[in-house]
Amino acid sequence: MQAEQLSHFVVEKIEELKGRDVKVLDVQEQTDVAVYMIVCSGSSKTHVKSIANHVATEAKREGVAPLGVEGHEHSEWVLVDLGDVVVHVMQEPIRDFYELEKLWSRK
């Protein structure tokens, strides 16, 4: 699956579980590790964990095995690394604190 196609797929999977405020950032000019970074919010630790698990499971089902999933232990911020697409599922206070969209937006 191409990076753009994968990013659309991930957004669809996030929306299936009612992830909020989904942002897709094109980061290919800032880093070599990914083409897109997707950031979204979940309403609780359980919601964050569920969204991340759903994205990872559905990607694997489509032949895109996650390279890693980090943050399940606390589920305030779970990262799913799908290679060209890196997904950050965060609780709102954590997202507000780290401001990833601002950090990774093109200047």
4-15 residue pLDDT tens: 999 999 999 999
- pLDDT category at 47 given cuts 50, 70, 90 is very high
Rounded CA separation 20/83 (Å): 23
pLDDT at 66: 97
What CA–CA distances, in Å, run from 48 to 30, 41, 53, 97? 26, 7, 9, 16
Residue 40 tokens, joined: 């979204």
Give the global pTM.
Answer: 0.95
pLDDT at 51: 98
- Under DSSP, the state recorded for 68 is E
Residue 74 tokens, joined: 């606390």
77-106 residue pLDDT tens: 999 999 999 999 999 999 999 999 988 876
